[in-house]
Amino acid sequence: MALVPPIEYDEAAPGVRAIYDDIRATRDVDWINNFWKVLANDPATLARVWTSVKGVMAPGAIDALTKEMIYVAVSVTNNCEYCIHSHTAGARAKGMTAPMFHELLAVVALANETNRLANGYRIDVDERFRDPAPR
Amino acid sequence: MALVPPIEYDEAAPGVRAIYDDIRATRDVDWINNFWKVLANDPATLARVWTSVKGVMAPGAIDALTKEMIYVAVSVTNNCEYCIHSHTAGARAKGMTAPMFHELLAVVALANETNRLANGYRIDVDERFRDPAPR
Amino acid sequence: MALVPPIEYDEAAPGVRAIYDDIRATRDVDWINNFWKVLANDPATLARVWTSVKGVMAPGAIDALTKEMIYVAVSVTNNCEYCIHSHTAGARAKGMTAPMFHELLAVVALANETNRLANGYRIDVDERFRDPAPR
Amino acid sequence: MALVPPIEYDEAAPGVRAIYDDIRATRDVDWINNFWKVLANDPATLARVWTSVKGVMAPGAIDALTKEMIYVAVSVTNNCEYCIHSHTAGARAKGMTAPMFHELLAVVALANETNRLANGYRIDVDERFRDPAPR
Amino acid sequence: MALVPPIEYDEAAPGVRAIYDDIRATRDVDWINNFWKVLANDPATLARVWTSVKGVMAPGAIDALTKEMIYVAVSVTNNCEYCIHSHTAGARAKGMTAPMFHELLAVVALANETNRLANGYRIDVDERFRDPAPR
Amino acid sequence: MALVPPIEYDEAAPGVRAIYDDIRATRDVDWINNFWKVLANDPATLARVWTSVKGVMAPGAIDALTKEMIYVAVSVTNNCEYCIHSHTAGARAKGMTAPMFHELLAVVALANETNRLANGYRIDVDERFRDPAPR
């Protein structure tokens, strides 16, 4: 059970309700998941985080499905149970197939392995890799 | 300086040299980066990890560029300096533009934030998210 | 279920019982929480960790409530379910209000986000920040 | 060297410059640290993150110094070198003394230790701790 | 419930069944644990990871029990519930006694503490420690 | 450069000097490494941590070399540069050979990989693994 109770639509203050409406409209869904209902206990955080998620996760230079898979990659690395479930569901809704899901986890797992080899052996960054990132 | 010295092509044993050749051929590059030259101190690990990387990172249900970006996402979350540099370079070589790189880091950072909100509030996973993953 | 059974007061050896007594007296509570009852399976660790907690968490240059909130910040970052519950309860008992709890989690989450931006972009530490810490 | 170059005030676009001005005014400082100068390569992230930091770190139910110390706690746990330096400097500017800094690190370190004891032994959360958080 | 269903021996494809047989023969057990039954949804990952585990965990310069304890140390640090259970059971089957288990967790916890002291104070590596690792 | 200066033997207060003497005697070395010299800025932490390290790392049910390797495993997983160097040196001094070092890192890396597969797929713990740990 969450440390604070989820706030349902009917009991929400108008400001929170407006955000719930925006979440449903933006995502074209008819419900609000627990993440937002719990954040609603702190309307400032709810508003700030929803604005961030809405902006960052919108398709841009990277498409929405790839962004969801990146989200899953981070959530698996950090072991966030809630986020693994919610963003796997999100990626699936955006078109992630079963073979894509398996490959996603395989890449995440392998990266966690080689991260430790690189850090454990204290491997020096090759000069050729130090060029600035793409412009 | 790495905890063990990198092994250059000319001083490598035949088995290591064969893997170096395969790395260069597979990636169509004319050099070997430090990661492999350090792993070469332990030929069993070199062979095993190269086989894994070659298989997992090949384009499949997910394309090679997306896989590199997922690798960067994990490496940033874990703070692996070497891996951030090498896989950012890898993603760039495969077509990641500057706007894509910025969006990638924005998603990674935001996921790290919301992971802690979900874990900190101990938010319960919605039943609707618990369906099995895509087949 | 824990990997080893909790040891209740009545079944505890005298040395363990003395530590339980000290925990209850120091904290002015009438019960022992599972953390200590499980550690009691290894009396050396129980004694060492209790001595550490008693010393480190006592009010000093930083007050006891702030220390509990710092504890929550670490526990949320690491996703220690037990510690999030126990130290949120501890902070609450020492005066943490609901608005404080929300702000605490907001800071923790934001720090986790900006940590990845700083690490992901490999941002150089400003020289002005490198002065030694306060004396 | 950062993966993208820092953008100095004189070369910044008007929108970025306005944020730089706001950072300096809000913090009453006469310079901009590298974190913001690197984020400026992605004006959307710069704006979003600065808005978040400005809002979250302002004194509220928790004072500004305590918030900085919580930021240090997270940054040490995650090993973000940049953030440890910048937020230690920030806490120091807000009044953190040397004894406070030492106690802060002692609490952070101890929490990291007991987090692993709780997770390693898989200790069950006491029912008494499961009450909802403070209202 | 896992995100994909475990695949039982009787319903497994011949290639998966062959790996299950090898797992049972190698470990001299009469059952297959959930880890492999879930991975079997992705036969390529099943084959790759089993090959890695079989090779890496075999006794070599380090004995099999010590390897299991190292596995527990990593799993506790990362808070992988499944892995803590499975590798604690594995270590126990190979001879880990209760006092060894307690000492293992004590070392893991302490290392997590001192890791943060070293990182938090940004302690410089002593020159004497920078010698290459053992040959 | 560390956030606080190392304190050399000649400038140390008697209480700190006594701990330095005990470190040298216990380890049979003629110098003090930076970790302790930095902690000496906070004599309470120096005393507490040294007591813990002295007690926990002494040979017991697990030998001293294995304990050092477990320490390396945690430090690599957390990416503590200082600790990787110091405890690799410590393990080497106690008899870790090059093949052992390579196997150690291979196990650590693999565990980090499989931890994410178990967490990512949310694999259920097998009932057979839930038995209490060894007594």
Name the residue of chain D whose CA is nearest to C100's CA: D61
C119: contact with E, CB 8 A cutoff: no
What span, in angstroms and rounded, lies between the C-alpha atoms of F134 and E89?
9
Terminal CA-CA length for chain B = 46
The sign of the CA dihedral A82, A84, A87, A90 is negative
Name the residue of chain F whose CA is nearest to B3's CA: F85
Task: Place E133 in a pLDDT band, splitting at 50, 70 and 90.
Answer: low
E52: contact with B, CB 8 A cutoff: yes
What span, in angstroms and rounded, lies between the C-alpha atoms of C60 and F42?
13
- 8 Å CB contact of F51 and C55: no
Q: Which amino acid belongs to residue D53? A: V
What span, in angstroms and rounded, lies between the C-alpha atoms of D48 and A58?
14
Name the residue of chain E whose CA is nearest to D88's CA: E120
Read off the pLDDT of residues A69-108 as tens digits, 9 standing for 90 and up: 999 999 999 999 999 999 999 999 999 999 999 999 999 9
Task: Place C132 in a pLDDT band, splitting at 50, 70 and 90.
Answer: low
Q: What pLDDT score was predicted for residue B130?
A: 87
DSSP tag of B124: P
Measured in whole angstroms, the distance separating CA D16 from the mean position of its chain's CA atoms is: 21
Q: What pLDDT score was predicted for residue E46?
A: 98
Q: What pLDDT score was predicted for residue A62?
A: 98
Q: Is the pLDDT of residue F19 over 70?
A: yes
Q: What pLDDT score was predicted for residue B127?
A: 95
Cβ-contact D70, C68 below 8 angstroms: no
Indicate the average pLDDT of chain A. Answer: 96
A105: closest CA among F2, E4, F76, C31?
E4
Q: What pLDDT score was predicted for residue D133?
A: 55
Task: Report the complex ipTM.
Answer: 0.96
φ/ψ of F113, rounded to 5, equals -70, -50
Cβ-contact E134, B5 below 8 angstroms: no
Quickly list DSSP for E47-79.
HHHHHHHHHHHS-SSS-HHHHHHHHHHHHHHHT
DSSP tag of A28: T
Cβ-contact A21, A9 below 8 angstroms: no
Task: Place E100 in a pLDDT band, splitting at 50, 70 and 90.
Answer: very high
Name the residue of chain D whose CA is nearest to A56's CA: D45
Least confident of A125-134, C56-65, F98-107: A125-134
Tokens of A47: 């508003």
List chain B residues with pLDDT less than 50: none
Set of chain F residues whose Cβ sits within 8 Å of the Cβ of E64: none
Suggest the residue from C86, C108, C116 to mutate for an interface test with chain B (most B CBs closer than 10 A). C116
Q: What pLDDT score was predicted for residue C134?
A: 55
C105: contact with B, CB 8 A cutoff: yes
Tokens of C57: 């968490």
Name the residue of chain E whose CA is nearest to C1's CA: E85
Tokens of F92: 């080497």
Tokens of E58: 């075999």
Q: What pLDDT score was predicted for residue C133?
A: 55
What span, in angstroms and rounded, lies between the C-alpha atoms of F56 and C48?
10
What span, in angstroms and rounded, lies between the C-alpha atoms of C6 and B135?
42
Cβ-contact C55, C64 below 8 angstroms: no
DSSP tag of A32: -
B40: closest CA among B6, B66, B76?
B6
Written as tens digits, the pLDDT of chain D (135 aa) is 899 999 999 999 999 999 999 999 999 999 999 999 999 999 999 999 999 999 999 999 999 999 999 999 999 999 999 999 999 999 999 999 999 999 999 999 999 999 999 999 999 999 999 875 555
Task: Place E130 in a pLDDT band, splitting at 50, 70 and 90.
Answer: confident
What is the pTM (predicted TM-score) of this model?
0.97
Set of chain D residues whose Cβ sits within 8 Å of the Cβ of C134: 92, 96-98, 100-101
Read off the pLDDT of residues C65-93 as tens digits, 9 standing for 90 and up: 999 999 999 999 999 999 999 999 999 99
- 8 Å CB contact of F51 and C48: yes
Tokens of F79: 């990416």
Q: Is the pLDDT of residue E51 over 60?
A: yes
Quickly list DSSP for C44-95.
HHHHHHHHHHHHHHS-SSS-HHHHHHHHHHHHHHHT-HHHHHHHHHHHHHTT
Cβ-contact B70, B59 below 8 angstroms: no
B119: closest CA among E119, E79, F116?
E79
Residue of E133 and E81 predicted with greater confidence: E81
What span, in angstroms and rounded, lies between the C-alpha atoms of B122 and D1?
38
By Cβ distance, the residue of F72, F85, F116 closest to A112 is F116
By Cβ distance, the residue of E115, E120, E124 closest to F74 is E115
DSSP tag of B78: H
Set of chain F residues whose Cβ sits within 8 Å of the Cβ of D88: 3
Q: What pLDDT score was predicted for residue A134?
A: 55
Suggest the residue from B46, B74, B96 to mutate for an interface test with chain A (most A CBs closer than 10 A). B74
In this prediction, residues A16-34 reach a mean pLDDT of: 97
Q: What pLDDT score was predicted for residue B132?
A: 59
Q: Is the pLDDT of residue A135 over 60?
A: no
Cβ-contact B73, A70 below 8 angstroms: yes
Cβ-contact D81, E77 below 8 angstroms: no
Distance (Å) of CA D28 to CA B85, C128, D22, D24, D93: 35, 16, 9, 5, 11
- 8 Å CB contact of C102 and A41: yes
Q: Is the pLDDT of residue E1 over 90?
A: no
Set of chain B residues whose Cβ sits within 8 Å of the Cβ of F88: 3
Quickly list DSSP for A38-74.
HHTTSHHHHHHHHHHHHHHHS-SSS-HHHHHHHHHHH
Task: Place A132 in a pLDDT band, splitting at 50, 70 and 90.
Answer: low
Set of chain E residues whose Cβ sits within 8 Å of the Cβ of C80: 79
Terminal CA-CA length for chain A = 46
What span, in angstroms and rounded, lies between the C-alpha atoms of A31 and A11?
15
